[in-house]
Amino acid sequence: MAGHKPFKDVREKMSPERRAVSAQRTQETLTAMRCTESENEEKPARRALGTAAGKFHVPDDFNAPLPDDLQAAFEGDNENEAQQLNQDAQRGEERKARIERGRRFYDEQLKAILEPQEIGHFVAIEPETGRYFIGDTSTAALAAAHATMPEELFYLKRVGYNAAHTIRGHGARRR
């Protein structure tokens, strides 16, 4: 706040009489607030132990196992979950294999062609066919790749760099 002055600075500039009046008003306000709060405040009633005795009955089978269909509803379908986990693991392995094929294709075939003149540009590589698409930005390279091959996944690389993008934050700053 541009025009804000700390309370202490303002009080130091006041005359002693003005300071006394201000302090008295502040004390009166705080006292009034305390009285109002305590008068209007409703305190919850305390219950004595055992006052609900006989009003609630715990069934004999309270701790019994749930029926299988109800238990399955709480836990989810274990067979579907296992299948989902297996599919996720397979996708992860496929993703790692695609990344490795993309890296190898770049290193073995594209590096010598692209690095002299395309440093800093992005290349989207489809490792199965060997097709690649170059763009000034990662979005441009991937848009060109998806326009030509909409169903395929691509390996993205920044020509001449170890990574396509960097993440910077507090840890990256030099202090």
- Alpha carbon dihedral 68, 72, 75, 77, in 10-degree steps, equals 140
CA dihedral for 29, 31, 33, 36, sign (positive or negative): negative
Residue 17's pLDDT is what?
74
pLDDT tens figures, 92-147: 888 899 889 999 999 999 999 998 888 999 999 998 898 999 999 999 999 999 99
What is the C-alpha to C-alpha distance for residues 168 and 175, in angstroms, rounded to an integer? 14
- Using a 10 angstrom Cβ sphere, with 0-12 exposed, 13-18 middle and 19 or more buried, the burial of residue 133 is buried
Q: Which two tokens stand for residue 86?
A: 């297996």
Residue 149's pLDDT is what?
92
pLDDT tens figures, 49-88: 878 788 878 888 888 888 887 777 777 666 677 777 778 8
Residues 6+ apart with CB under 8 A from 148: 131, 133
Residue 133's pLDDT is what?
94
- C-beta separation of 135 from 141 below 8 A: yes
- Alpha carbon dihedral 132, 137, 142, 147, in 10-degree steps, equals -90
What is the C-alpha to C-alpha distance for residues 6 and 1, in angstroms, rounded to an integer? 11
Residue 159's pLDDT is what?
92
